[in-house]
Amino acid sequence: MLIKRVLILPIWLFVLTACAQPKTKPTSVYTQKTADIDGTGKIYYGREIATVMGAAGADWLERNNRNQEENTDLAISKIPLKPNAVVADIGAGTGYYTFRIAKKVPQGKVFAVDVQDEFITYLNQKKKELHQQNVEVVKGTETSSKLPENTVDLAFMVDVYHELLYPHEVLQSLRKSLKTGGKLLLLEYRAEDPEVAIKELHKMSVAQVNKEMAANGFKLVDRKEFLPIQHFLLYQKVD
């Protein structure tokens, strides 16, 4: 069943390993507590950062019925992009979104960013197979997207943000890579909806996302609730 499968394998992309939980670096924005069963024990603005799963979920990310379950076609159609836009898929994983969005920006570019070697290899192979010249694969780190400064029109994360081990550092990295007025799109499971049968730490409320984005120099400019189980939240870099 869909709900059971989603509970077992949410979209966990932006990670180093399935098992390792690196120690918290000495940054004042984080605190630590005893970890919940699905959490890291690391707290950011009152939210426990969720545990992650990596390349083991690659087949699930590419499942044939993903569009039916998540309406990914609709999500992609609503992303505001010009044909020459420069886009960054943060936590790209298998590139499910990367290569579809690349077709929307034929005169632009899509950076496919991930931190796992398995996904980097997968992305490079897929780029070669599809002859998708406007995709550039980038190996990021836990704390940085490793993108050039002032180059990106829109960055996006699909069910990734809630599992970033260093959200503050990653967001600051993205601020540097975004152009003036650049935007950040987040798709996150809806915590406000009890019918969304996802483990609590793998869902986010709009209020929580807004709090974290505002603390990092982003303002909400558009919110849509047309997807079956996810928020569609568009933020703009505040200069």
- Give the model's pLDDT for residue 23: 52
pLDDT at 169 over 90: yes
Is 74:67 a contact under the CB 8 Å cutoff? no
Q: Which of 159, 186, 199 is nearest to 5 (CA)?
A: 199
Longest dimension (CA), the chain: 49
Look at the block and give the residue holding tokens 């540097």.
176
Looking at domain 2-237, what is its CATH homologous superfamily? Vaccinia Virus protein VP39 (3.40.50.150)
- Whether residue 227 has pLDDT greater than 70: yes
Are the C-beta atoms of 9 and 57 separated by less than 8 Å?
A: yes
SS3 152: strand
By the 8 A CB rule, do 115 and 142 touch? yes
Q: How high is the pLDDT of residue 239?
A: 83
pTM for the predicted model, two decimal places: 0.87
Distances (CA, A) of 89 to 40, 78, 83, 109, 196: 24, 16, 16, 11, 24
- In this structure, the dihedral spanned by the alpha carbons of residues 98, 92, 176 and 189, taken in order and rounded to 10 degrees, is 100
pLDDT for position 59: 87
User: E strand or H helix at 222, and its extent?
Assistant: strand 218-224
DSSP state of 162: G
Backbone angles phi, psi at 144, to 5 degrees: -150, 140
| 167: pLDDT strictly greater than 70 | yes
Q: Which of 199, 215, 222 is nearest to 48 (CA)?
A: 199
Provide the token pair at 79: 């992303």
Q: Which two tokens stand for residue 125?
A: 């192979």
Average pLDDT, the chain: 90
Q: What tokens were used for 169? A: 């550092």
User: What is the per-residue pLDDT across 124-136, written as a single tens digit (0 to 9) for each?
Assistant: 999 999 999 999 9
Residue 7 has pLDDT above 70, yes or no: no
Kindly give the interhelix angle for 206-214 and 167-177, rounded to the nearest 10 degrees. Answer: 60
> Are 31 and 220 a contacting pair, CB within 8 Å?
no
Alpha helices (runs of H) in 50-116, residue ranges in sequence order: 58-61, 66-70, 72-77, 96-102
Residue 55 three-state SS: helix
Return the CA Rg of the chain: 16
